[in-house]
Amino acid sequence: MNEMSYNEVTRAIIRPMGSAGTFYKCVVAFWFLGIVVGGSCWGYQISQGLGVAGVKNPIAWGTYLINFVFWVGIAHSGTLISAILYLFRAKWRTAISRAAEAMTIFAVMTAGLFPLIHLGRVWLVYWILPYPNQRNLWPDFQSPLVFDVIAISTYLTVSTLFWYTGLIPDLAAVRDQSTGWRRKIYGILSLNWMGAHYQWHHYGSAYLFFAALATPLVISVHSVVSWDFALSIMPGWHSTIFAPYFVAGAIHSGLAMVLVLLIPLRTLYRFENIISMNTLENIAKTIIFTGFIMSYSYGTEHFIAWYSGGVEQDSFMWRMTGHYAWEFWVMLFCNSIVPLFYFFKKLRTNVYSLFVIGLLVDIGMWYERFVIIAGAPAHAHDPFMWRVYSPTIIEYGIMFGSFSLFFFLFFLFAKYLPAVSIAEVKEEAPRPLRRRTA
Amino acid sequence: MVDLGRRDFLRILGMAGAATAATGCSEPTRKLIPYIIPPEDIIPGEANWYATTCRECPAGCGLLAKNRDGRVIKVEGNPLHPVSGGKLCARGQASLHGLYNPDRFTGPLKRNERGGFDPVSWDAGERLLVQRLKEIVAGGRGERIVFVSELVTGSMKDLIDLWVKEMGNPAGHILYEPFAYEPLRKANEIVFGYDGIPAYRIDQADFIISFGAGFLETWLSNIEYARQYAAFHTLSASGRNPFVYVGPRLSMTGNNADLWIPVAPGEEYLIGLGMLRVILDENLCANMPGETKNKLGAMASPWTLEAITARTGVDPDLIHQVARRFAGAKRPLALAEGLSLSGPHATETAVAANLLCAVHPGSQAAIDSAGRSAYSDVARADTIKELTEKMKRGEIELLLIHEANPAFSLPLSWDFRKSLESVPLVVSFSSAIDETGAFAHLVLPTHTPLESWGDYSPRAGVTGLMQPVMGTLFDTKHLGDVLIGSGKAARGGERFPWKDFHEVLQSSWTRRQQTMAPDIPFEAFWEKAVETGGVWETGIAGTAGIPVRLSPFAFPTPNEDVRPETGLHFTTYPSVLFFDGRQANRMWLQEIPDPLTMITWDGWVEIHQETAEKLGIRRGDMLLIKSPYGRLEAPAIPIPTVPAGTVAMPMGQGHTNFGRYANERPANPMLLFSSDLDPATGGILRPAFGVTLEKTGKTMSLAHVDGSFSQHGRGLMRVMAFDDYGKAIASKLEPEIDYPMPEGFDPEKDFYPAHSHKDYRWVMIVDLDRCIGCSACVVACYAENNVAVVGKEQMVKGREMSWLRIQRYFDDDKPIARWLPMLCQHCDCAPCESVCPVYAPHHSKEGLNNQVYNRCFGTRFCLQNDPYKVRRFNWFTFTRPKTLEWQLNPDVTVRGKGVMEKCSFCIQRIIEAKSKARNEGRKLVEDGEFTTACAQTCPANVFTFGNLLDPNSRASRLIQDPRAYQVLGNLNTKPAVIYLKRVTKPLEV
C-alpha cells in the first residue's frame, strides 16, 4: 500500500467490480436459490404454523432465536472495526472497514428477519410498534422484546447511514470510471458528489458523527439482545454476566466472520497490497483476546452455578453431561481452545489457518447460542417438563436461506460496490509527489 | 398530466362502479334470524340442564347435561343422584365423545358381497330383520334367536326379555359385561350366602384393606366409592383412617394406600389367610362366635404363617401389624377385586377378604346387602361359552348385539370371531363400529344413551332415569322402538301393545308410581322424576348389613398352589380411562396420560427397572410377550409400579376395528389368556402362568408426557408426616405463603408495587391429600374450554394442549407415585406478564392472569419465562372432526395457530356467576355459588375455588392450613394456587 499512488489505489479497488464472470454468476445464483428455499420454508411455516419447526413445550425458541442472536453478534464486530477503531485512529482497520460495515448491515438485515420468522402470527408484528391506534394500546416497554425492536432498528438505521455516508466519495470515484447506464446509476447513488472542499468537510464531520453514534451501539445492542434471556427467570439465562458475555461473544464471532469473508475476497480480488497481512494478524490477535473473555465468562457462569447449587447447578451440569453435551464441548473447544492457536505466528500469518480457525470460531459461537437457547429451557425448574429439542428440515431450510441471503447480499456488494474504502485508503497512502524530473 | 375529458371520466367511473358492484360481495351477508316460534326451553345464550344417567359403565352415575342452543356441550354429575353426588369420572366426562363420535354409524347398513357395508333405509333393514324373525319363529326355532346386550336394567331389560320370549327363547337375553366379577359373586355366596354383589359403604368403615380392588378406578362404582373414600380418608388432627392395599402392581388405587403390600399375582389370598391366622391365633376378635371361629380355623389351616411368608416374601411382622390393626378397628372392611384376569386365585382372594369381614360384626355393618348391584345379574363367562359353542355348532340362527363387544374382550383363544362367522344373520344395534359389529350382516344403529329415554338401576334402591338431552344426531332409532316395531311385525300388535319405547317407560313408571307414591298423580310423579333424574331412597344413613352364612370352602394347599416354573408373573388391570376398552375411541381419553405411566395414545407393558436393565430393555422397545395361550407385541416401559418378577399391562388398547382413535394401538392383553372356564365360579379360568419377554428389535416412540420420574429433590409435590402435621396444628403454625395480595408484597424483595384487587381475588386451593389421580378434572377442563387434542405424533413432539395436567413423580427411595395437579398459577407477580411485548397476558382486577387471545401474536416469551410451564401454544390450527365440533363450548374462544393459551380459572363461569348475581340484585357472588370445571367434577373435592377477599370463603380458611405451600414459591411468583401437602401416616398398631 505504501508504494501505491492514488490512481493505482482507485484502479485496484475498482478493477474487480462490474464484470461478472460465470463462476460469480453461478455462485450468486446458488445463493439466490438458497433464499428461495428459505422463503418457501417460511411461507410454508406461515401457512401451517410454528409446529413445522422442532420447537415444543417447554423449548419454544429454537434455531430462529439462535440464528437471530448469531447474526446480530456477527454484526457487532463490523461496527467495532469501522466505528470504534476509527475513533481510536487504528490505521490497520482502514482497508477492511468498508467490507466489515457491509457485513454488519447485511447481518443485521438477516438477523432482523428472525424475530418475524419465529412469530406465531407474523402478520400482526406491527403491534410491537408504538403507533397511534383507536384502542389506545401501547406495546409493553417492560418487555425485552420491545427493547430489541428499538435497538435493532436503531442499529440498522445508524449503520446504514454510516456506511452510506462513507460510500459517497467512493461511489463518485466509480462513477467517474464508468460509462453509460452504470455512470448514471452510480451518479445517482453518489448524490452528485463533486469532491468540493465543503463536501469533504461535511463528509468528515458526518463520518465522525456517525462513528461516534454507532460506537455505543456496539455495546448496547447486544446487551439488549442478551437481556432477552437475562431478564427471564430461566436457570441458565438469569445471570447478570449476560450483557458483557454476549457482547464479547459478538465481537468474537464477528471478527471470525470478518476473516472468513475477507480472506477469499482479498485473494480473489488480489487485494494483498491493500489488505495487508498485518491487518489480518491484528484481527487474529483480537480474537485471542475475545477468546479469553469468553473463557472467563464460561468459567464465571459455571462457578456461579456450582456456587448457587440446586437448580442452577443442575442446569449447568446437564449442559456438560446431558443430551447436548456434544454441542457444549464443541462450543468450548472452538471458542476457548481454538483461538489459542493464533498464538503461533505461523498460524496467524497464513491465510489458510486464519480462515479455518475463523470458521471454527463461528461454528463454536453458533453452538454457544444453541446451548444457551435450547439447552437451558430443556432442563429448567420442573423435572416433569424436561424435554429435548431438535431442529426440523424447515428450520434448516430457513437457516440455509438466511446464510444464503447474507452471502447473496455480500457477493452483490463485493461486485457492485467498492469493497475497500477508496477514500480512506488514499488518506493512508503517501501524498503524491510532484512529477519527478527525468 | 393525463388528458382526460369529461366523457372519458364518466365512462371510467361507470365501469369502475359496475366492476365494484359485480365483485362487491367481499363477505357474504350473514343473517341472524331470531326464532319466530322458538323451540321450547331454548333461550339463545342460556343453557338448559337435563338430568339423565351415564351409561359409560355399569356404575350408572346420574348426570346433568348442559344443552346450549340445542346441543349438549358438557356433562356434570347430578348432585341429587346418590351414586354420583354431583361428580363424574373421566369416562363420564368423555361420554360426549361417544355421542359425537365421528365414527358413529349415521344410518342403517347392510353387508355387501365384498365384505363392506352399504347404506340401506330403515324400512329395508327392518324388513330384513322381520322377515328372518318370521321365518325362524314359524319354523319353531325360536330358541335359536339370541340377544346379547351390555348390562341393562329396568324397562329396557324387561322389553328385551319380553321380545326374546315372544320370539321363542325365554332365556335368550344375555347381559354381557367383560367384567362379570364371577369370583366375587362366588365368594359372596360362600361366605355370606349372598347371591350377587352388595353395595359397600367405604365411608362407614374405619379401616380398609383392598385385595386388588381398584375402587377408585373401575371397580363396581368408582365415583361413589371415590366420594366415600374421600370421606373415609379425610385428614383430621387426631388421625386418619388407614387404607392398606395388597396387589401385584402399584395401581392408581394402590398408590393412595397408606401401605402397599406387593405380592405376586395370585398370592393376595395368602395375605388374607395370614391375617386370619393371626386374628385366630392371637384371639384378636374375642366376640366371634365359636362356630365361626372353628370354621375359619379349618379353612385357614393349610397355610401356616411361615409358609405364607416363605411363599409371598412378605415380612411376618407386617402381617401381624395389619391383622392387629384390622381387628382393632371398629368397622374394618376387606375388599377384593374378584376379577380372574388380574391373577389366579381370584375366588380365593375374594373368599379370604369376605372371611376377614366375617370376623367382625362392624365389617358386616359396612356392607349393604340391600344395595344389590346390577352386576349381580350379568351373564357369567360359562353362559357366554355356551353361546359360543352353540354358535359354532350352527345352532344360533339370529344373533342380535347391542353395545357388547365380545370379539374384543374375550380371550383370543376363545375364538369368538370364528363362532360369529357361523351365524347366518348377525344384527348389530350398536352406535359405532366395533370388532363384534364388524361381523354383522345388518347394522341398525340405535341412539346413544344421551339421545335416549330409559332407566337404569345400578343397585337396588336407586333407579336413574334417562332422557334425550338433545335431538337425534343421525338416522338412528331407539332400540326399544326397533324392538317394538319388529315385534309387532313378527308377532302381532297385541303382544307389543305400545306405540314406542317412551310409552313402555311411562307404563313401567306408572306401576312404580303406584307403589312408591300412590297419592300424587302420575304426571307430577313423572315430571319430578325426570327433573330429578330418577328415584332413590333418601335419608337412609345406615346400611342393611350382611349376615355371615359360611359354606364349605377349601383353599389350595401349599402343594396345590404351584408357581409357574419359568417366566415372569403377569397381571392385567382395567383402565381408569378405557374401562374394558369400550372408551378407547374417545379421543380425549387417548390424549390424557395414564395416571401412573403418563403414557398417551398407546398401551404398554410395565416392567421393573432392574429387570429391564438386566435384559437390556429400554423405554419403547417392542417386546414379544408370550403366554402358554397366545402372544402379543407391546412397547416396554421400565417403571417402579411393578415389583421385580412381574409385568403388567392395562386393558383397553389393542383394538383392530373401533374407529380412528382406537385402531392399531398396542396391545390387547386378552390375547394371552386361555379360554377355559373355572367350573367353580363360571368365570374364565386363570391358571398361574408365566410369560416370557423377547426383544423384537423394533422400537416405538411412546407419547409420554413426563420428562423425568423424579422430582430431583426440588420439592414441587410435598408431603408432610402426620406427626409434623399434628404438631403444626397444635402450635397453630402459619404456613409459609407469599400471599397473592398486597399483604404479600415486601419492598425488600419486590421491585414492582402490589396489584390492587376489586371485590374478588380468585384463588384455588389444591388439597394434595385428597387427590386420587383419576384425571377426571383434566377431561372436564378439555370439555369446558375447547382444549384441542393434538394426536400421538404431536404428543411425541411435546405439543400437548392440556391446560390442567396431573404431574406424577416417583419417590426416589420407594415405589410410590406422587400426583401434582398443575395448572396456571395466576401468579400475583407473574413472570409471564412482564415479558410479553404486547400485553397479551394481562393481570385483571380480580387477580386472574388473563391471556388475551386476540392480542397474542406468538413470540412465546411468556412460555419461556413461565417456571411452571403451564402455557400452551397453538403450534398448528388444531381441528377436530365435524361432529366433535358440536361439543364446543360457545362461551370459550376456539384458538387458531400462533396464539398462546392456558388455564383461565374458567373465566366464562366467573362472568356467568357475576352476571347472575347482578341480575338478581346482589353485589357479590357468594362462596360456592359456582366453581371451575375441574373443581366441579373432582369426586374427592381436591380443588376449592374461591375469593380470597371474602374472609368467610372456604378458600380463605384453607389457605391458613399449616399444610399450605406454593410450588416454586421461592421464585417470588406469589401464585394464587395454594397446595396443601399430602400427609403420610404409616400404619401403626
Q: Which of B798, B859, B871 comes nearest A387 by C-beta?
A: B798
Sign of the CA dihedral running B481, B485, B491, B495: positive
Set of chain B residues whose Cβ sits within 8 Å of the Cβ of A50: 858, 873, 875, 897-898
Q: How far is A209 from chain B (nearest CA, A)?
A: 32
Q: Residue B70 has what pLDDT? A: 87
Cα–Cα dist B44/B77, whole Å: 24
Of the two residues B187 and B238, the one the predictor is more confident about is B187
Residue A238: closest C-alpha in chain B: B865
The yes-or-no verdict on residue B384 having pLDDT over 50 is: yes
Beta partners for B147?
B173, B400
If pLDDT is split at 50, 70 and 90, which confidence band does B34 have? low
CA–CA–CA angle B280, B282, B283 (5° rounding): 60
Joined together, the cell numbers standing for residue B768 give 394434595
Set of chain B residues whose Cβ sits within 8 Å of the Cβ of A311: 714
Residue A234: closest C-alpha in chain B: B865
The yes-or-no verdict on residue B19 having pLDDT over 60 is: no
Q: What share of chain A is helix, strand, coil (3-state, %, to 5)?
A: 75, 0, 25
Q: Which of A381, A384, A387 comes nearest B867 by C-beta?
A: A381
Tell me if A293 sits within 8 A of A77, measured CB to CB: no
Sign of the CA dihedral running B204, B207, B211, B217: positive
Q: Which of A50, A115, A140 comes nearest B875 by C-beta?
A: A50
Beta partners for A25?
none
If pLDDT is split at 50, 70 and 90, which confidence band does B39 have? confident
Tell me if B93 sits within 8 A of B776, measured CB to CB: yes
Q: Residue A124 has what pLDDT? A: 95
pLDDT over 90 percentage in chain B = 86
Residue B793: closest C-alpha in chain A: A51
Sign of the CA dihedral running B89, B90, B93, B99: negative
Ramachandran angles phi, psi of B886, nearest 5°: -65, -20
In angstroms, the Cα distances linking B623 to B628, B705, B855 are 16, 21, 49
Tell me if B399 sits within 8 A of B426, measured CB to CB: yes
Set of chain B residues whose Cβ sits within 8 Å of the Cβ of A140: 834, 836-839
Residue matched to cell numbers 374364565: B684
Residue matched to cell numbers 362472568: B911
Beta strands (DSSP E) in B325-474 are 332-336, 367-368, 398-402, 425-428, 442-443, 454-459, 462-466
pLDDT in tens, A338-350: 999 999 999 999 9
Contact B707 A149 (CB under 8 A): no
Surface of B (41-60) touching A: CB under 8 A:
none
Residue A59: closest C-alpha in chain B: B864
CB pairs under 8 A, 24+ apart, for A386-392? A386/B707, A386/B708, A387/A56, A387/A57, A387/A58, A387/A59, A387/B707, A387/B798, A388/A59, A388/A323, A389/A54, A389/A55, A389/A56, A389/A59, A389/A62, A390/A54, A391/A53, A391/A54, A391/A62, A391/A63, A392/A52, A392/A53, A392/A54
Tell me if B943 sits within 8 A of B762, measured CB to CB: no
Contact A387 B707 (CB under 8 A): yes
Question: How far, in whole angstroms, is CA A338 from its chain's centroid?
Answer: 20
pLDDT in tens, B266-302: 999 999 999 999 999 998 887 788 888 888 888 988 9
Set of chain A residues whose Cβ sits within 8 Å of the Cβ of B712: 314, 383
The interface pTM score, or ipTM, of the predicted complex is: 0.94
Residue B790: closest C-alpha in chain A: A51
B290 burial via Cβ count (<10 Å: 0-12, 13-18, 19+): exposed
Contact A233 B807 (CB under 8 A): no
CB contacts < 8 A, A to B, total 160
Average of pLDDT values for B42-48? 86
Burial B489-512 (b: 16+ CB within 10 A, else e): bbbeeeebebeebbebbbebbeeb
Tell me if B117 sits within 8 A of B470, measured CB to CB: no
Tell me if A209 sits within 8 A of A161, measured CB to CB: no
The yes-or-no verdict on residue A31 having pLDDT over 50 is: yes
Set of chain A residues whose Cβ sits within 8 Å of the Cβ of B798: 56-57, 387
Set of chain B residues whose Cβ sits within 8 Å of the Cβ of A137: 838-839, 855
Tallying the residues shown for chain B, one arrives at 989
The yes-or-no verdict on residue B20 having pLDDT over 60 is: no
The yes-or-no verdict on residue B902 having pLDDT over 90 is: yes
The DSSP output letter for A28 is H
Cα–Cα dist B20/A199, whole Å: 54
Tell me if B777 sits within 8 A of B964, measured CB to CB: no
CA–CA–CA angle B781, B783, B784 (5° rounding): 65
Q: DSSP secondary structure string, B577-612?
A: TTBTTTTTT-HHHHHSPPTTT-EESS--EEE-HHHH
Residue A117: closest C-alpha in chain B: B859
Q: Which of B716, B859, B877 comes nearest A119 by C-beta?
A: B859
If pLDDT is split at 50, 70 and 90, which confidence band does B88 have? very high
Interface test with B, best of A385, A388, A394 (most B CBs within 10 A): A385
Question: How far, in whole angstroms, is CA B569 from its chain's centroid?
Answer: 27
Interface check for B792 against chain A (CB to CB < 8 A): the answer is no
Q: Is B288 helix (H, G, I), strand (E, B) or coil?
A: coil
Q: Which of A54, A56, A383 comes nearest B711 by C-beta?
A: A383
Interface check for A3 against chain B (CB to CB < 8 A): the answer is no
If pLDDT is split at 50, 70 and 90, which confidence band does B3 have? low
The DSSP output letter for B80 is T
Contact B860 A57 (CB under 8 A): no
Interface test with A, best of B710, B807, B866 (most A CBs within 10 A): B866
Set of chain B residues whose Cβ sits within 8 Å of the Cβ of A310: 714
Contact A384 B968 (CB under 8 A): no
Of the two residues B543 and B296, the one the predictor is more confident about is B296
Set of chain B residues whose Cβ sits within 8 Å of the Cβ of A48: 876, 897
Q: How far is B607 from chain A (nearest CA, A)?
A: 21
Cα–Cα dist B764/B611, whole Å: 42
The yes-or-no verdict on residue A433 having pLDDT over 50 is: yes
Joined together, the cell numbers standing for residue B798 give 411435546
Interface check for A56 against chain B (CB to CB < 8 A): the answer is yes
The yes-or-no verdict on residue B686 having pLDDT over 50 is: yes
Q: Residue B40 has what pLDDT? A: 77
Cα–Cα dist B625/B895, whole Å: 43
pLDDT in tens, B394-443: 999 999 999 999 999 999 888 999 999 999 999 999 999 999 999 999 99
Q: Is B413 helix (H, G, I), strand (E, B) or coil?
A: helix
Residue matched to cell numbers 460510500: A167
Surface of A (293-322) touching B: CB under 8 A:
310-311, 314
Contact B714 A146 (CB under 8 A): no
The yes-or-no verdict on residue B6 having pLDDT over 80 is: no
Contact B857 A122 (CB under 8 A): yes
* Nearest alpha carbon to residue B903 among B791, B770, B762: B762
Q: How far is B803 from chain A (nearest CA, A)?
A: 12
Q: Which of A120, A233, A386 comes nearest B857 by C-beta?
A: A120
Cα–Cα dist B390/B381, whole Å: 14
First to last CA, chain B: 106
Question: How far, in whole angstroms, is CA B792 from its chain's centroid?
Answer: 21
Cα–Cα dist A229/A225, whole Å: 8
Cα–Cα dist B434/B437, whole Å: 5
Residue A65: closest C-alpha in chain B: B859
Tallying the residues shown for chain A, one arrives at 438
Q: How far is A231 from chain B (nearest CA, A)?
A: 8
Question: How far, in whole angstroms, is CA B346 from its chain's centroid?
Answer: 23
The yes-or-no verdict on residue A6 having pLDDT over 90 is: no
pLDDT over 70 percentage in chain A = 98
Q: Which of A60, A125, A138 comes nearest B860 by C-beta?
A: A60
Average of pLDDT values for A32-49? 97
Interface check for B868 against chain A (CB to CB < 8 A): the answer is yes
Contact A48 B968 (CB under 8 A): no
Q: Residue A15 has what pLDDT? A: 87
Interface check for B956 against chain A (CB to CB < 8 A): the answer is no
Contact A233 B856 (CB under 8 A): no
Cα–Cα dist A208/A202, whole Å: 10
Q: Residue A252 has what pLDDT? A: 96
Interface check for B825 against chain A (CB to CB < 8 A): the answer is no
Predicted TM-score of the model (pTM) = 0.94
**Alpha-helix residue ranges (DSSP H) falling in B608-677:** 609-615
Cα–Cα dist B51/B466, whole Å: 7
pLDDT in tens, B461-491: 999 999 999 999 999 999 999 999 999 999 9
The DSSP output letter for B750 is -
Domain range list for chain A = 6-123+142-428
If pLDDT is split at 50, 70 and 90, which confidence band does B362 have? confident
Q: How far is A190 from chain B (nearest CA, A)?
A: 30
Q: Residue B1 has what pLDDT? A: 43
Range among A273-277, B42-46, B476-480 with highest mean pLDDT value: B476-480
Surface of B (794-823) touching A: CB under 8 A:
794, 797-800, 807-809, 820, 822
What string of H, E and C letters represents the secondary structure of B848-907? CEEECCCCCCCCCHHHHHCCCCCCEECCCCCCCCHHHHCCCCCCCCCCCCCCEECCCCCH
Interface check for B897 against chain A (CB to CB < 8 A): the answer is yes
Contact B861 A377 (CB under 8 A): no
Surface of B (328-367) touching A: CB under 8 A:
none
